[in-house]
Amino acid sequence: MKRLIITIITGWIALLFLLLPLAAQNDATFFEPSGPFIPQSFAFDKKHDFFAVINQADNEIVMVSRKGDGKPEISHRFSVDKVEGRSDGQRIYRPTSVAIYDGYVAFLASHLDSCYFAVLNLNGKLETKLTFPGHANAFSYHQPANELYITGENKNGFNVIVLDTRNGVNRVNSKDAFILHYENPRSPEEIARRDTWGTGLIVTVICVILLVLLVLYLFFKRAGMRLIATQELLIHKPKDEDVEQKQETVASNVAVSDGVYAAIAAAIYLYGEELHDVENTVLTINKVSRTYSPWSSKIHGLNTYFKR
Bridge partners of residue 97, in order along the sequence: 108
CATH number at residue 171: 2.130.10.10
Question: Is 236 in the same domain as 173?
Answer: no
- pLDDT top residue among 181 and 16: 181
Whether residue 295 lies inside any domain: the answer is no
- Do 137 and 232 reside in the same domain of the chain? no
Q: How many domains does the chain have?
A: 2
Kindly state whether residue 161 falls inside one of the protein's structural domains: yes
Residue 108 pLDDT > 90: yes
Structural domain of 115: 42-184
Out of 53-62, 179-188, 211-220, pick the least confident. 179-188
| Number of Cβ within a 10 Å radius of residue 19 | 15
Quick check: is 283 in a domain? no
Nearest-angstrom CA–CA distance, 149 and 137: 11
Nearest-angstrom CA–CA distance, 96 and 61: 11
Q: Are residues 96 and 16 in the same domain?
A: no
Nearest to 101 by CA among 164, 55, 44, 152: 44
Query: Do 97 and 177 belong together in one domain?
Result: yes
To the question of pTM greater than 0.85 for the whole model, the response is no
Q: How confident is the model at residue 53 (pLDDT cuts 50, 70, 90)?
A: very high
Candidate from 61-65, 104-108, 188-192, 210-214 with smallest mean pLDDT: 188-192
What local confidence, expressed as pLDDT, does residue 234 receive?
A: 80
pLDDT at res. 102:
86
Query: How far is it, in rounded angstroms, from Cα 110 to Cα 1?
Result: 61
First-last CA distance in the chain: 117
Is residue 37 a part of any domain in this protein?
no
Residue 282 inside a domain? The answer is: no
- 75-102 confidence digits (pLDDT tens): 899 999 988 888 888 889 999 999 998 8
Domain membership flag for residue 303: no
Q: What percent of the chain has pLDDT over 90?
A: 19
Whole-number average pLDDT of the chain? 77
The answer on 150 and 78 residing in a single domain is yes
For residue 304, give the DSSP letter. T
- From residue 283, alpha-carbon distances to 127, 138, 275, 277, 280 in Å are 150, 140, 22, 17, 10
Contact 42, 54 (CB under 8 A): yes
What secondary structure does DSSP assign to 168-191, as a single string? -GGG--SSS-EEEEEEPPPHHHHH
